[in-house]
């Protein structure tokens, strides 16, 4: 077996120990010490360096049928991570290699090598970009714009959740794909300032300052052609109101309802879909992995050339991971939410 350093015998991992109702609390999670298992044939042992925090994880805490199975109670949760191979029993992977894989929420992971992807070579970009704008986050934005909304030269595009990871990438990519005007909404004056001053949006809306339905028509005097929806609820209702005839909606997520104990009211104007002949389509990034190489070929150079800004909120220490996750759900983050582990 190829092994780089002495491997600790135990490591910490976050377990879900109770199913949250509404907003999760600390009592729903436990950070537990577990044995670190040496790899068997075809496996690698990875020391995680960065853990990804993503809103869909909230859905996996519920015991409900969905497109991904729920987290099991009293087991380590999973999620994207980037780490360094410590020991390998697999061809093609050696100690020291950096890989991305789906066994996050823990310090060490022993996994079949087929789940460990070496980081693609896309020039001088930070390692963390592989969990953000060059990872699942960026691919989600790309799929929503290219494949679902089919953004065209000259489109007016509105992106909600634009201060976050997917939304920040989506707004910037829409511009690079030829949009004539890009409007973003986010919570708070500072996030909205950054949209126009740092990410190149044409207009920003602070949805906490006044109802989104009042502010969007002012930001979009000629209507919008595309809505990239991360929020749902009142934001989707506001977008339907201002969408132009034959407008397209890429429904990516609806975070305004993820911690709700009752379904949110609305949108109350779905009849507009008929009169305006709108196309409203949900999508899952996991259905579009075949676009990954086209995505990396197009977006990688934009990032390396500085045409795309990668923003992230990094929290240090595995013991902070649950607080950081809850902070992300409340909007503490700008850009991609990550946890950095000691290495
Ligand atoms: N379809 C897919 O395959 C796919 C893949 C990845 C992500 N997604 C979805 O994409 C969306 C964004 O995910 P992300 O990873 O980029 O997370 P993120 O946007 O970086 O973080 C979540 C953000 O949601 C905002 N938020 C929370 N509650 C809100 C509310 N009631 N109304 C409006 N905004 C609210 C917060 O920002 P503010 O400060 O602005 O409130 C927070 O920063 C989520 O809906 C997620 O489920 C879908």
Task: Specify the pLDDT at position 69.
Answer: 93
174 pLDDT above the threshold of 90: yes
Please compute the mean of the pLDDT values over residues 209-213 and round it to a whole number: 98
Task: Identify the burial level of 188 via C-beta atoms within 10 angstroms of its C-beta, where 0-12 means exposed, 13-18 middle and 19 or more buried.
Answer: middle
pLDDT-above-90 percentage for the chain: 92
Confidence of residue 342 (pLDDT cuts 50, 70, 90): confident
Contacts of 249 (CB under 8 A, 6+ apart): 149, 226, 227, 229, 236, 239, 240, 243, 278, 279, 280, 281
148 pLDDT above the threshold of 70: yes
Task: Specify the pLDDT at position 5.
Answer: 67
CA 270 to centroid of ligand 1, rounded, Å:
22
Identify the three-state secondary structure at position 320.
helix
Substitution site in 262, 281, 284, 331 for ligand 1 pocket (most atoms within 8 Å of beta carbon): 331
* The length of the chain, given as a count of residues: 343
Residues 87, 7: contact at Cβ < 8 Å? yes
Question: In this structure, which residue's CA is closest to atom 19 in ligand 1?
Answer: 164
263 pLDDT above the threshold of 90: no
Task: Specify the pLDDT at position 192.
Answer: 98
Task: Specify the pLDDT at position 122.
Answer: 74
Out of 1-5, 138-142, 244-248, 330-334, pick the least confident: 1-5
4 pLDDT above the threshold of 70: no
Substitution site in 24, 54, 55, 282 for ligand 1 pocket (most atoms within 8 Å of beta carbon): 55
CA 228 to centroid of ligand 1, rounded, Å:
12
Tell me the C-alpha to C-alpha distance, in Å, between residue 321 and each of 54, 68, 255, 317. 12, 21, 19, 7
- Does the Cβ of 88 fall within 6 Å of ligand 1? no
Task: Specify the pLDDT at position 329.
Answer: 97
- Does the Cβ of 144 fall within 6 Å of ligand 1? no
Please compute the mean of the pLDDT values over residues 281-303 and round it to a whole number: 96
Confidence of residue 308 (pLDDT cuts 50, 70, 90): very high
Question: In this structure, which residue's CA is closest to atom 9 in ligand 1?
Answer: 253
pLDDT in tens, 180-201: 999 999 999 999 999 999 999 9
User: For the chain, what is the mean pLDDT?
Assistant: 96
Nearest to 150 by CA among 167, 183, 174: 174
- Does the Cβ of 45 fall within 6 Å of ligand 1? no
Q: Which atom of ligand 1 is nearest to the CA of 337?
A: 20
CA 299 to centroid of ligand 1, rounded, Å:
21
- Does the Cβ of 284 fall within 6 Å of ligand 1? yes
- For every residue of 126-175, DSSP letters joined together read -GGGGTTTTSHHHHHHHIIIIIII---TT-EEEESSTTBHHHHHHHHHHH
What is the Cα–Cα distance from 39 to 114, expressed in whole angstroms?
Answer: 13
What is the Cα–Cα distance from 54 to 49, expressed in whole angstroms?
Answer: 17
pLDDT in tens, 84-116: 999 999 999 999 999 999 999 999 999 999 999
Global pTM reads 0.96
- Does the Cβ of 328 fall within 6 Å of ligand 1? yes
CA 209 to centroid of ligand 1, rounded, Å:
18
């Amino acid at each position: 077996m190829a092994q780089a350093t002495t491997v600790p015998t135990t490591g910490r991992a976050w377990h879900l120990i109770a199913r949250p109702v509404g907003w999760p609390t600390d009592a729903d999670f436990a950070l537990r010490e577990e044995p670190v298992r040496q790899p068997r044939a075809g496996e690698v042992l990875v020391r995680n360096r960065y853990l990804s925090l993503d809103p869909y994880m909230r859905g996996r805490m519920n015991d409900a049928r969905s497109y991904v199975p729920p987290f099991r109670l009293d087991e380590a949760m999973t999620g994207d991570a980037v780490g360094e191979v410590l020991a390998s029993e697999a061809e093609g992977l050696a100690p020291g290699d950096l890989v991305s894989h789906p066994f996050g929420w823990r310090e060490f992971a022993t996994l079949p090598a087929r789940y460990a992807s070496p980081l693609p070579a896309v020039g001088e970009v930070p390692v963390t970009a592989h969990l953000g704008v060059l990872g699942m986050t960026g691919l989600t934005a790309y799929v929503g714009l290219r494949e679902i909304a089919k953004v065209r030269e000259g489109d007016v595009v509105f992106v909600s959740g634009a201060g976050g990871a997917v939304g920040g990438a989506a707004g910037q990519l829409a511009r690079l794909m030829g949009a004539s005007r890009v409007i973003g909404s986010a919570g708070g004056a500072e996030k909205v300032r950054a949209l126009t001053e740092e990410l190149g949006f044409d207009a920003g809306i602070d949805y906490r300052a006044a109802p989104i339905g009042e502010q969007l028509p002012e930001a979009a005097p000629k209507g919008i052609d595309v809505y990239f929806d991360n929020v749902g609820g009142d934001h989707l209702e506001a977008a339907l109101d201002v969408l132009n005839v034959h407008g397209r909606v890429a429904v990516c997520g609806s975070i305004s309802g993820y911690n709700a104990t009752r379904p949110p009211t609305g949108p109350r104007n779905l009849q507009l879909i008929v009169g305006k002949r709108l196309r409203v389509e949900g999508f899952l990034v996991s259905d579009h992995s075949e676009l990954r190489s086209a995505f990396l070929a197009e977006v990688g150079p934009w990032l390396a050339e500085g045409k795309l800004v990668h923003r992230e909120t990094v929290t240090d220490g595995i013991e902070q991971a649950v607080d950081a996750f809850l902070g992300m759900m409340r909007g503490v983050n700008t850009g991609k939410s990550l946890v950095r582990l000691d290495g």
